[in-house]
Amino acid sequence: MHELSRSKAAFCGLLAGLVAGIAMTLVMLLLAWKLRIATPLVILGDRFVGAIGGLIYGVLIRNRDRSPVWSTLLVFAVLPLLVSAILLWPVLGTHYAGMPIDAARAVTLLGLGLSFLVFERTLVLGFDFVTAAPRGRPSTEFSPQVGRRAFLMGIFGLLLAGGVTAIARKLFRIATFSYDGTQYKGPGVQPITPNEQFYCVTKNVVDPRVNEGLWHLEVSGLVQSPRTYRLQDLKAMSMVDQETTLMCISNGLDAGLMSNAVWRGIPMADLLQSAGPLNGAAKVKLHGVDNYADTFPLEKAMDPTTLIAFKMNGQTLPHRHGFPARVIVPGYFGEKHVKWLTRIEVAGADAKGFYETQGWGPDFIVPTRSRIDVPDNESWIKLADAKRGVPIKGVAFGGDRGISRVEMSFDDGESWDDATIHYPGTKLTWSLWSHDWQPDESGDYTLVVRATDGEGEVQEFEEDREFTSGITGFHKVLLHIFE
Ligand SMILES: Nc1nc2c(c(=O)[nH]1)N[C@H]1C(S)=C(S)[C@@H](COP(=O)(O)O)O[C@H]1N2
Ligand SMILES: [Mo]
């Protein structure tokens, strides 16, 4: 057995650990990219942890003969797998090609196990390689020549890192940064939002791209007869078309996280009725393949307007909007319209969703809102032009209560004029309105819009409402009319 100084052992361990961490990251990225397995990709963290683990390993192992394989396997693969399984249990059921939740959990654990195994093997074999005594010489005579071997190990690490970068780039290109937060507002707003322009919000860095063959929809929980449907079973059921507007809970007064489409799908009630909710059932908890879930009352789920949608404006649901199936639940914030739906769980009264556990709510019902799309805030208009009429237009949305009236003010809410609703939509959609305004004098004007919903309630600022239930208030636009 050769002697190895403590610092040399630490260095070799650090190096082997670093390379092993890179190797593990490469495996995780390959799994994510090729098999859509969602192992937690904390890239830098993994490498850092790898290097530290290697350093400790190097120092501990220095004066021993090779430790038995089972002990390093235990410490570097089995234990991390156990710890991850415990700590990450709630997120393990994620699979970006839409594998059902239980199968996804098994596959993710397999992927994690493989990643840790690669770490352990690279660490142990890499350490052995770097610290091996030169051939032909009695190993006790010299401190091993680690220089050349460390260099080779470093090159190997760099090659792996190149692979990591290449795959990370590929994943970055399909990441959601380019479209998460897409808004729809301004002069171009049409009654029906084209699919490519529909607002978009996701919690994911990489969104699911569900494989129809892997996907299914479960109805489970507090039901008499749980069932599993394939996509073709669902498509054979009788469908309805329903125009419905969606708005995100975090939509600002002047923002465009709101859009309208015609959704084609089956009433959720049809599936719930054949499953038969049991006593104690109070809510449905809807799960996406991305480990997202949200809830609403069973009563709302039974409403004929609550749909499982497969089509959007006559086209197959786009991937980013939830292919192959998403929930449409009129009157509730966007959060509840779960995309990439894979499980309908009938649950008790205290079931909670992803955003609810993060502190959103308690109210998830869309309050009446309206927005001025034309003209822009801080526009300057010549009085002579303004006298020929300043076109004003925008949208108003009353959740599932419809819109019965839209009014404009040009004096910051002192007095109000009726606007024209030129696209009334339905109870479940926004209305589009316009107004022609002819100011007599130059000056600064504060334009305000307010809507009245289908139940006669006038839009208002609800002082007691917390922003976590979605803000209320009035959109205002400042106009400068000059001589
Ligand atoms: N599975 C899943 N469903 C989801 C989300 C998500 O991240 N994952 N985001 C929600 C949020 S916050 C909103 S506002 C709407 C947005 O739907 P859209 O992107 O189709 O407009 O989807 C909801 N459904
Ligand atoms: Mo949202």
Contact 247, 397 (CB under 8 A): yes
Q: How far apart are CA 368 and CA 452, in angstroms?
A: 7
Q: Residue with the nearest Cα to atom 16 of ligand 1?
A: 201
Q: Which residue has the tokens 């939740």?
A: 101
Q: How far apart are CA 324 and CA 322, in angstroms?
A: 6
Where would I find the H helices in 209-277?
A: 231-235, 268-275
Per-residue pLDDT tens listing for the chain (483 residues)? 457 788 888 999 999 999 998 898 888 888 888 888 877 654 444 556 677 788 888 888 776 666 678 889 998 899 989 988 888 888 888 888 988 889 999 999 999 899 999 999 999 999 999 988 765 555 444 455 678 899 999 999 999 999 988 988 888 888 888 999 999 999 999 999 999 999 999 988 889 999 999 999 999 999 999 999 999 999 999 999 999 999 999 999 999 999 999 999 999 999 999 999 999 999 999 999 998 999 999 999 999 999 999 999 999 999 999 999 999 999 999 999 999 999 999 999 999 998 888 889 999 999 999 999 999 999 999 999 999 999 999 999 999 999 999 999 999 999 999 999 999 999 999 999 999 999 999 999 999 999 999 999 999 999 999 999 999 999 999 999 999
Of 207, 337, 356, 358, best ligand 1 pocket probe by most atoms within 8 Å of the beta carbon: 337
CA dihedral of 124, 126, 130, 135, whole degrees rounded to 10: 80
CA atoms within 13 A on the CB side of 257: 19
Contact 390, 427 (CB under 8 A): no
**Distance from the CA of 201 to the center of ligand 1, in angstroms?**
5
Taking the mean position of all CA atoms in its chain, how far away is CA 322? 11
Contact 431, 401 (CB under 8 A): no
Handedness of CA 344, 348, 349, 352 (dihedral sign): negative
Ligand closest in space to the Cα of 337: 1
Of 94, 195, 201, best ligand 1 pocket probe by most atoms within 8 Å of the beta carbon: 201
Could you tell me the two tokens for 349?
């009264």
Instruction: Show the ligand 1 pocket: residues with CB < 6 angstroms.
Output: 198-204, 246, 248, 288, 290, 292, 321, 334-335, 337-340
The pTM for the full model equals 0.87
Bridge partners (DSSP) of residue 420 are 434
Could you tell me the two tokens for 414?
């002192």
Could you tell me the two tokens for 258?
């709101």
* Residue 48, H or E segment: helix 43-61
**Distance from the CA of 326 to the center of ligand 2, in angstroms?**
14
Q: How far apart are CA 445 and CA 481, in angstroms?
A: 8
260 to 242, 316, 428: CA distances (angstroms): 11, 16, 10
If we measure between CA atoms, which residue out of 334, 338, 254 comes closest to residue 289?
338
Write down all domains in the chain, each with its CATH number in brackets: 6-173 (no CATH), 195-358 (3.90.420.10), 369-482 (2.60.40.650)
pLDDT value for 66: 66
Ligand closest in space to the Cα of 353: 1
pLDDT value for 48: 64
DSSP β-ladder status, 379-382 and 476-482: parallel
Query: Running DSSP on this structure, what letter comes out for residue 68?
Result: P
280 to 195, 293, 354, 374: CA distances (angstroms): 39, 20, 22, 50
Taking the mean position of all CA atoms in its chain, how far away is CA 416? 41
Q: How far apart are CA 260 and CA 245, in angstroms?
A: 4
Contact 94, 38 (CB under 8 A): yes
